[in-house]
């Protein structure tokens, strides 16, 4: 009898969108870009990765002699225009250690509401992944108006995760998890798991305390729900704990996704 070789189907790699907040990669935490790139390089060995990065405004502020976000929109946009270039340069210099090429993709949340823009973004991201590039999605802060005043890219990251039918969305910031009350509040306890549809009754959500970012716990929960509704599992944790979370350590808060089949089309 002739043996018949059974060929397993080619495994589709996991697809992960990683979003990092402004305060994690700017100012005193600028050095975390190196460790974040280390973690992403390791993750790319087993998954398609898209990075959504805040930080262009925060990165540009020192070049304008400012220590915190200005109140007027044109100055914020000017800081973004300066910081965008510097931030991408910092990422690429770090990525050179792994011979990874970054591809900058400028989007705004409003792009996701226009069919042709959404299809174009999907096709570009898909092709970049096929070519082995690391797409780094930044908000188009130089021309955006509403988006730069709210959310620190949390919503944009959720929309990107939905767009590319990601398996997981990781929201990184300087807070290690979602708590029942703002961290530091007496009696506040970490919430390790949030079931899909959980209203989080009794949980008090804080706002961002950063002088450069705009995203607080509320914006992250909203983004997590937006992604989870599309079948994307969401992990909320601190940038410094990313490597441990990838290794299976018990960090952060996991938002369970709605159970549904994901089909990778725009």
Q: Please state, in angstroms and rounded to a whole number, the distance separating the CA atoms of residues 53 and 172.
A: 10
pLDDT digits (tens, 9 = 90+) for 163-192: 999 999 999 998 999 998 888 788 889 999
Percent of the chain with pLDDT over 90: 64
Residue 63, SS3 per DSSP: helix
- Residue 216: the pLDDT is 74
Q: pTM of the full predicted structure?
A: 0.88
Q: What are phi and psi of 125, to 5 degrees?
A: -65, -40
| Residues of each annotated binding site for ATP | 19, 173-174
Q: What is the pLDDT of residues 15-70, one digit of tens each?
A: 999 999 999 999 999 999 999 999 999 999 999 999 999 999 999 999 999 988 88
Q: What was the pLDDT predicted at 141?
A: 64
pLDDT score at 78: 93
Could you tell me which of 60, 71, 55, 69 has the C-alpha nearest to residue 22?
Answer: 55
In the chain, where are the structural domains located?
A: 14-255
Annotated binding-site residue numbers: 19, 54, 141, 153, 173-174
Buried/exposed 11-35: b ≥16 CB within 10 Å, e otherwise: eeeebbbbbbbbbbbbbebeebbee
Q: Which residues are annotated as a binding site for substrate?
A: 54, 141, 153
Q: Domain spanning 14-255 has what CATH number?
A: 3.40.1160.10
**Best CA proximity match to 153, nearest among 245, 57, 66, 229:** 57
Q: Cβ distance 54 to 20 under 8 Å?
A: yes
pLDDT digits (tens, 9 = 90+) for 200-241: 877 877 655 544 445 578 889 999 999 999 999 999 999 999
Percent of the chain clearing pLDDT 70 (strictly above): 85
């Amino acid at each position: 009898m002739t043996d018949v070789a059974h060929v397993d189907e080619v495994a589709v790699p996991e697809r992960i969108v990683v979003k990092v907040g402004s305060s994690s990669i700017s100012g005193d935490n600028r050095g975390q870009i190196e460790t974040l790139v280390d973690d992403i390089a390791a993750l790319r060995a087993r998954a398609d990765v898209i990075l959504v990065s805040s930080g262009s405004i925060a990165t540009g502020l020192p070049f304008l002699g400012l220590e915190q976000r200005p109140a007027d929109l044109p100055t914020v946009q000017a800081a973004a225009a300066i910081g965008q270039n510097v931030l991408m340069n910092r990422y690429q210099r770090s990525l050179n250690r792994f011979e990874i090429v970054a591809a900058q993709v400028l989007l705004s949340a409003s792009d996701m509401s226009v069919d042709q823009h959404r299809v174009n973004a999907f096709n570009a991201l898909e092709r970049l992944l096929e070519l082995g590039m690391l797409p780094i999605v930044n908000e188009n802060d130089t021309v955006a108006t509403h988006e730069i005043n709210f959310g620190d890219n949390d919503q944009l990251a959720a929309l990107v995760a939905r767009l590319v039918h990601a398996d997981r969305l990781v929201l990184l910031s300087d807070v290690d998890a979602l708590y029942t009350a703002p961290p530091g509040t007496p009696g506040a306890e970490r919430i390790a798991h949030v079931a899909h549809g959980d209203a989080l009754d009794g949980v008090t959500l804080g706002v961002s305390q950063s002088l450069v970012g705009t995203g607080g716990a509320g914006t992250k929960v909203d983004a997590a729900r937006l992604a989870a509704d599309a079948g994307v599992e969401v992990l909320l944790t601190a940038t410094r704990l990313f490597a441990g979370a990838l290794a299976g350590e018990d960090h952060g808060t996991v938002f369970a996704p709605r159970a549904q089949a994901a089909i990778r089309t725009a």
